[in-house]
Amino acid sequence: MEHTFGSDHVSSGTINKHAVLTVKPLRCLAPIFPSAPDPSAPPSSQYASIPPTGPFPPGATPFFPFFAVNDSHKPAHPRPPYPIPSPVPLNSFKTPVSASGNGDIGTSRRSSRNRTVVDDDDGNSQSESYDNSFERNVETGNEVDGKIHVTRRKRKKKSGVPVSNTEVSIDSLVNDMLRTFNYVESDSVHQARNDKELADRVLIFFNLLRRKITQIDDKIKALPGAARRPDLRAGSVCMSYNVRANQDKRIGSVPGVDIGDIFFFRFELCLVGLHAPSMAGIDYLSSKFSADEEPLAVSIVSSGGYEDEGDDGDVLIYSGQGGVQRKDKQQMDQQLVRGNLALERSLHKANEVRVIRGLKDFASPTGKVYVYDGLYKIHESWIEKGKSGCNIFKYKLVRIAGQPEVFTLWKSVQLWKDGTTTRPGVILPDLTSGAESLPVCLVNDLDGEKGPAYFTYTSNLKYAKPFPSTKSSVLNCDCCTSGCQSGSNCPCVQRNEGQIPYTSLGVLLGHNSLIHECSNMCICPINCRNRISQAGLKMRLEVFKTKDRGWGLRSWDPIRSGSFICEYAGVVISENRTDSDDNYIFDATRTFEPLEPRPSDEPVKFPYPLIISARNEGNVARFMNHSCSPNVYWQPVIRENQDESYFHVGFFAIKHIPPMQELTFNYGMVLADKGGVRRKKCLCGSSKCKGVFY
């Protein structure tokens, strides 16, 4: 991506804060504090004709704007034009299809080669007579049938293990997801337009599957004490069905993975080809595949398991592996074998080594976030005595110059959050003036502009007319005083087809048609798991001046894919009152590209009209710019009222978003026959850019 990781910060010394703070428009940003909508006013006739029954009326696509993966009902769209193999009941995801058959869902193409990409003598990465792209791989497999060995993945089969309900559920889930994602032939995942898109798709699939498996585990209580590892199971499925990228090990950078990209599971590193071992910290080319018959290190994960030192952003002291008896935890001398040997050889070969740093994820106290920190070279190695008195190998890695800042940026953000240092370029420390649960600062470290045009900050969505029937004194749910649970009889949960649409971390389970949240009509507390989008901002955001697209929005915190970011606040306006000069419009009547490849790749429409103007009053969402390859999408959420014409627009992360990367969503397309909407030139810079937006 084009973000520059703060390298262009104007130093704080160049900013006259006093002058900035006296700028009039911004001093007038008086917040309007959240207030309940007026229930006494008459209902809006604009939406009154829409039947409140069912998630969607007949004929409306339930897949807006994306698909819905739901194991509780079958997809409602007609059969796609291409042949879909009948779902093969997988015995278990652990033993995916051992039977023969062409085109079965279980068929996984996996060539038996184990080519590697190695450095030549000049230090340039070159392919060993083999192009790493999967499309090429598939081509070759088709053209020279037999040369590229097409095999099914064989897994160890545990004998005598009964197939549990959980596994049955997961099997059908996997089948559904593979179909929905059009991954029936595993190769179709690789129809991505570029490396980045491929890596993104792999991660999206993995995370959707992982969250769904978590949900099934929650529902079907597994044996107590049994460690449930949705990450490993989802990862294993991805491996089996070849939903992965950059399978061939290589030295140097990995296509589709940018420096600064973040990951939340070790398996994600594995699936995008950044670091193959599922647990081990050192990845290396085995001696068989390296030029000198010596192993060479390709990547390391520094995650806090050993006594590493990495305080300096450009130097990392990394400990070798081994020396710990895993059963009795006894310490012993480390040996110069495996990863340690590979690092030693890489020191002499002076090849680039990818470094992934495992940092504490402050957003979730239990969690860890892995940050790809770019390429390093090993400068020294030595042996020292560890705390236990045993020998430990140490390696000094130095970051190659000229790469975008990552670790130093993370450290800066931490200091800003602590209040230890001030964010350079701050114009206003909190443009919401306290209307949000967290401050949102306004920053310009590019030029002299002092802020956006005047507007009133509100965190609410205002309907032109209040809710209709206000016999809503009837409680929505009065069952869950400690928060609602999936699978319960809670009416709010039932409206979501029996499942709370969020994980325990508050991450959206999948792309739903419509989310029914609990509300202040319910007895459950505000921290109920079914009230994610009304609990306010959870991450530190900033509004900043972009290079060429006015003001934009980005986050100081890393964002997990599926996380709620904010809703679109403003004033609901009617369709015929839209003003072509209004640049702060959210328009649900436009057509939207599906997030994922679907049988028909046509844009889809949301079945209800909703247009919000945030020109005069709005929240942070009004600063989100358009992009043709966005990292945020929107999702209708119903809360106070069960009438589906009164929904909120919730924004969720499509993928993991590193700190300080601009948040963007797709504004949608306007049909050609509709006048009055100005086209604007799109500057998103994406390879999929359509050139214009509305």
Task: Please check whether residue 108 is in contact with residue 96, taking contact to mean a CB–CB distance below 8 angstroms.
Answer: yes
Enumerate the H helices of 350-457 as residue ranges.
407-418
Cβ 321 to DNA shortest distance, Å: 4
159 binds DNA (CB under 7 A): no
CB count within 10 Å of CB 552 equals 17
DSSP state of 571: E
Q: What does the block give as tokens for 507?
A: 């991450």
* Rounded least distance, CB 284 to DNA, Å: 7
Six-digit token string for 55: 């998630």
| Smallest separation (angstroms) from DNA to the CB of 286 | 3
- Is 345 a residue that touches DNA (CB under 7 A)? no
What SS3 state is found at 461? Answer: strand
Which of 265, 457, 556, 584 lies at the binding interface for DNA (CB under 7 A)? 265
Least Cα distance to 347 among 396, 388, 403, 390 occurs for: 396
Q: Would you say how long the chain is, in residues?
A: 694
Tokens of 497: 């087809």
Pick from 18, 24, 74, 288 the residue near DNA by CB under 7 A. 288
- One of 1, 150, 276, 692 touching DNA (CB under 7 A): 276
> Does residue 257 touch DNA according to CB under 7 A?
no
Q: In terms of DSSP H, where are the helices of 568-625?
A: none
Site string for DNA, 203-242 (x = CB under 7 A): ---------------------xxxxxxxxxx-xx--xx--
Nearer to DNA among residue 338 and residue 411 (C-beta) = 338
Across-strand partners of 221? none
User: Least distance from C-beta 266 to DNA, angstroms?
Assistant: 3
Q: Which of 29, 192, 209, 301 binds DNA (CB under 7 A)?
A: 301
What is the chain's Cα-based Rg?
27
Asked if 487 interacts with DNA (CB under 7 A), we say no
Residue 114 binds DNA, judged by CB under 7 A: yes
Q: Which of 322, 452, 510, 607 binds DNA (CB under 7 A)?
A: 322
- Please, what is the minimum distance in Å from the beta carbon of residue 112 to DNA? 7
Tokens (6 digits) for 672: 């050609």
Structure tokens at 100: 């023969």
Among 367, 597, 599, 603, the residue binding DNA under the rule CB under 7 A is: 367
Longest dimension (CA), the chain: 81
Which one of 56, 267, 463, 544 is in contact with DNA (CB under 7 A)?
A: 267
Identified binder of DNA from the candidate list 190, 266, 495, 554, rule CB under 7 A: 266
Minimum CB–partner distance for residue 290 and DNA (Å): 10
Phi, psi for 141 (deg, rounded to 5): -60, -35
* Options 278, 408, 520, 546; binder of DNA; rule CB under 7 A: 278
Q: Taking the mean position of all CA atoms in its chain, how far away is CA 116? A: 29
Please write down the long-range contacts of 17-26, taking CB distance under 8 Å and 24 or more positions apart: 17/426, 20/427, 20/450, 21/427, 21/428, 23/427, 23/450, 23/451, 25/450, 25/451, 25/453, 25/454, 26/427, 26/428, 26/431, 26/442, 26/450, 26/451, 26/454
Cα gap 457→337, rounded to integer Å: 61
Instruction: Identify which range of 75-83, 317-325, 411-419, 531-539 contacts DNA by CB under 7 A.
Output: 317-325
Interface with DNA by CB under 7 A: which range of 304-312, 373-381, 434-442, 638-646?
Answer: 304-312
Query: Which two structure tokens, joined as six digits, stand for 101?
Result: 């058959």
Tell me which stretch binds DNA (CB under 7 A): 278-286, 510-518, 556-564, 583-591. Answer: 278-286
Q: Among residues 376, 464, 438, 474, which one has the least CA distance to residue 646?
A: 464
Distances (CA, A) of 610 to 43, 497, 586: 15, 24, 8
Least distance from DNA to the Cβ atom of residue 200, Å? 19
How many CB atoms within 10 Å of residue 140?
Answer: 15
- DSSP letter, residue 218: H
212 or 554, CB closer to DNA? 212
* Token reading at 636: 């209708």
> Looking at 25, 123, 305, 525, which residue binds DNA (CB under 7 A)?
305
User: For residues 288 and 471, which CB has a smaller minimum distance to DNA in the complex?
Assistant: 288
Interaction residues for DNA, span 116-155 (CB under 7 A):
154-155
Exposure string of 573-582, with b = 16+ CB inside 10 Å and e = fewer, is: beeeebeeee
CA-based nearest residue to 73, from 173, 168, 163: 173
Contacting residue, 134, 183, 318, 693, with DNA by CB under 7 A: 318
How far apart are alpha carbons 292 and 299 in whole angstroms? 19
Site membership for DNA, residue 503 (CB under 7 A): no
User: Cβ closer to DNA: 302 or 351?
Assistant: 302
Min dist CB 205 to DNA, Å, is 15
The span from the CA of 635 to the CA of 566, in Å, is 11
Which region among 321-329, 567-575, 602-610, 630-638 touches DNA (by CB under 7 A)? 321-329
Footprint on residues 409-448 left by DNA (CB under 7 A): none
Candidate ranges 12-20, 63-71, 121-129, 280-288; the one touching DNA (CB under 7 A): 280-288
- Taking the complex as a whole, the smallest distance from the CB of residue 249 to DNA amounts, in Å, to 6
Q: Site size for DNA, by CB under 7 A?
A: 56
Shortest Cβ distance from residue 157 to DNA (Å)? 9
* Dist. CA 618–CA 551, nearest whole Å: 14
User: What single letter denotes the amino acid at residue 248?
Assistant: D
CA dist 671 and 591 (Å) reads: 8
Cα–Cα distances in angstroms (integers) from residue 520 to residues 190, 492, 495, 530, 538, in the given order: 45, 12, 16, 12, 20
Compute the least distance from the CB of residue 296 to DNA, in Å: 11
Q: Which is nearer to DNA, 211 or 648 (CB)?
A: 211
Per-residue string for binding with DNA, 55-94, x by CB under 7 A? Answer: ---------------------------------------x
| CA separation, residue 170 to residues 112, 212, 358, 645 (Å) | 28, 9, 30, 35
Residue (381 or 432) nearer to DNA, CB:
381
Helix (H) or strand (E) holding 300: strand 296-302
Each residue 6-35 as x (binds DNA by CB under 7 A) or -, in order, gives ------------------------------
The answer to whether 396 contacts DNA (rule: CB under 7 A) is no
Helix axes 230-240, 195-219, angle to 10 degrees: 130
Closer by beta carbon to DNA, 58 or else 225: 225
Residue 338 binding DNA, by CB under 7 A: yes
Q: Which is nearer to DNA, 177 or 239 (CB)?
A: 239
694, burial (CB in 10 Å: exposed 0-12, middle 13-18, buried 19+): middle
Residues within the interface to DNA (CB under 7 A): 94, 112, 114, 154-155, 224-233, 235-236, 239-240, 249, 265-267, 270, 276-282, 284, 286-288, 295, 301-306, 308, 318-319, 321-322, 324, 326, 338-339, 358, 365-368
